């Protein structure tokens, strides 16, 4: 079973979901802008991805600059992702034991 943290307005997210479906994988779609992630969920994704919080963020979003997050601590960055889900990189796909960011969408193939 796979889970995609998805934004249907994002072309990369749509392409990644399509790849999962084309490979006939069961997938749960979580629209994280409608159902924001909590701190524990973000920490779990960071562990599965094996990356730092800044690597899971969309640093070019206006909200990143507005919140003055450049150089912020991991704790502050995680809190920013909880409060501003738009800052989370997309899409993220998990298979319960690991995760990838679907940029490019073909990254998801490493989970199959």
Per annotation, catalytic residue among 10, 49, 54, 82: 10
What's the CA gap between 33 and 9, in Å, rounded?
11
Known catalytic residue at 98: no
Question: How far is CA 53 from its chain centroid?
Answer: 11
What's the CA gap between 28 and 5, in Å, rounded?
9
Question: Which of these, 80, 78, 79, 54, lies nearest to 67 by C-alpha position?
Answer: 80
Residues marked as catalytic? 10
């Amino acid at each position: 079973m796979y889970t995609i943290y998805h934004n249907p307005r994002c072309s990369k997210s749509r392409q990644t979901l399509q790849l999962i479906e084309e490979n006939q994988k069961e997938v749960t779609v979580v629209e994280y802008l409608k159902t924001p992630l909590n701190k524990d969920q973000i920490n779990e994704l960071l562990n599965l991805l094996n990356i730092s919080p800044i690597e899971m963020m969309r640093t070019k979003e206006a909200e990143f600059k507005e919140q003055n997050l450049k150089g912020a601590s991991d704790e502050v960055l995680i809190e920013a992702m909880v409060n501003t889900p738009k800052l989370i990189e997309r899409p993220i796909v998990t298979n319960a034991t690991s995760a990838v960011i679907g940029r490019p969408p073909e990254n998801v193939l490493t989970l199959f």
